[in-house]
Chains A and B, each alone.
Chain A
């Protein structure tokens, strides 16, 4: 088990390093960031001086090493727009995004699990059909549009829930639904498929032959087995939600990392963009890692060897 954990950790670290290189390289492709920092008619000498101070005259791999070195100490540079260290800004906003992503995940599970399990148990029945139709629609609707519709219906027309900001359950409901909407379709399909496989297995048949009540078979014995592929998928979708969070945060003015990064993009605020996307990736890699490690908890076969 230990070697498994170590291997996955190494893999994760390499991914993060690689991601940071990728992000760095792309950022540097914009040409001259100096142009943004100095007034248009600045004299060449000033431009050269600034270039030297910022180390932009060195070869790119050296620049990366400087960047990486500074990053490890927590120095991502200062935000051009907000006049504060980029790292602080990012860390300040990160928890809100994590909170939103979790809420969205909870929502998607709360919808997908019952739909998936019941679709499998009553295969071909009306719930299966509705589930499939729902899934089809869900995958065709962009998350941000769902968010807009939710605002339209629940905030504008019905005035039940607030449309923006944070600060309490009522504020997180709509953004969580908008964000958690898209994966429901795929999650339902996976759960349904996993349950169908498991319900067809010999050990479930054995349980039936021993007189187990059907509900116990489905929810205790079958579901635990189906949970393994579900957990894989959860990790993947939590990650994709981190990406989708960017748009949802903008729509609902949610004070998270996503909204900050989007604003930074418009302002060409590289330090914040770099730090923000890097931390999003770190979050992504960490959540995948946790998912992999959780297999050991669910499936005893992995634990023992």
Chain B
């Protein structure tokens, strides 16, 4: 029977749809991979590939506009800040911090969250109720607020940021993985494994984990953008990365002081954040669509 409801799949698409398809496609998001790849390269290369020392002060070269504007030069591709530091170099340096935090935070929060979620989902009943209640309680505190409480206690640093973000985000993974486990544990092979005398950790590792890997991967990729923004926010507030380390959020905080003198200092690092997040989100969306077509958004 021709499903009347499926009639949205038409032969012709509107012009704007075609443009979107061309740009963002339903296939592999090449642009996003490119941009994110550049960020990765910058993170790995760090200072060694930057044209200038990110912390090199040169007051004589302060407030130089970006190279394509009048007064700018190719020497300082994206201009300089109030202390004469090359913005382009600082952006490259900041990439390392951004990705380091993102990777650590996601791995830790994802790992802990997934484990707790598996425990809750698998053992069910009381343990599940307790764990979910804890999740609820933690989630009743807005994440940035919670981060602030933790930041009061720890002194600001890269490690602090990673700890804060990990503590804030594990609940998200826990909830979703628990849901998955709840449906998975009814499957036959789990029952069979139990009957065969498989130990619980082994069931977790051999039977449950492989099946949630897809979901975990999708979740993680969708989290990257949020984590990057969260780190930037913390650093902006001064509770994260501190000088002489470079973070895009920190750059924006500095630039705020001389916003009237150098609009590029407050714009460009933000653009870096935006492009990184955007590409991460698009890659995440693509992964989600590839790994779980049921959840595709039309």
Query: Does A270 have its Cβ within 8 Å of any Cβ on chain B?
Result: yes
Take A30-B152, A200-B5 as given contacts and tell me if A261 and B145 are in contact as well, using a CB distance cutoff of 8 Å.
Answer: yes
For B, the interface residue count at a CB cutoff of 8 angstroms equals: 54
Q: Please, could you name 9 A-B residue pairs with CB atoms under 8 Å apart, sorted by A?
A: A11-B136, A23-B149, A27-B153, A137-B274, A148-B255, A239-B142, A277-B145, A277-B148, A284-B140
Take A149-B267, A247-B233 as given contacts and tell me if A26 and B142 are in contact as well, using a CB distance cutoff of 8 Å.
Answer: no
Hey, what's the 0/1 contact readout for B149-164 against A, CB within 8 Å counting as 1? 1111110000000000
Beyond A22-B138, A264-B152, 10 additional contacts (C-beta under 8 Å) are: A30-B154, A129-B19, A140-B281, A142-B273, A149-B270, A242-B145, A243-B144, A247-B233, A280-B145, A285-B140
Shortest Cβ distance from residue A92 to the other chain B in the assembled complex, whole angstroms: 18
For A, the interface residue count at a CB cutoff of 8 angstroms equals: 66
User: A144, B233: Cβ atoms under 8 Å?
Assistant: yes
Take A262-B237, A270-B152, A284-B142 as given contacts and tell me if A148 and B278 are in contact as well, using a CB distance cutoff of 8 Å.
Answer: no
What residues of B have a CB within 8 angstroms of the CB of A29 in the complex? 153
What residues of B have a CB within 8 angstroms of the CB of A274 in the complex? 149
User: B263, A148: Cβ atoms under 8 Å?
Assistant: no
Query: Does B229 have its Cβ within 8 Å of any Cβ on chain A?
Result: yes
User: A240, B141: Cβ atoms under 8 Å?
Assistant: no
Stretch from A38-46, A102-110, A119-127, A166-174 forming part of the interface with B:
A119-127
SS of B interface (majority): helix
Contact with B263, one of A152, A193, A247 (Cβ below 8 angstroms): A152
Shortest Cβ distance from residue B129 to the other chain A in the assembled complex, whole angstroms: 12
Contact with A265, one of B152, B229, B282 (Cβ below 8 angstroms): B152
What residues of A have a CB within 8 angstroms of the CB of B17 in the complex? 124, 129
Shortest Cβ distance from residue A156 to the other chain B in the assembled complex, whole angstroms: 5
Query: Does A19 have its Cβ within 8 Å of any Cβ on chain B?
Result: yes
B28-51 contacts to A (CB < 8 Å): none
The residue among B5, B144, B267, B274 with the most chain A CB atoms within 10 A of its own CB is B144
User: B148, A141: Cβ atoms under 8 Å?
Assistant: no
User: A148, B5: Cβ atoms under 8 Å?
Assistant: no
A137 to B281, CA, bound (A): 10
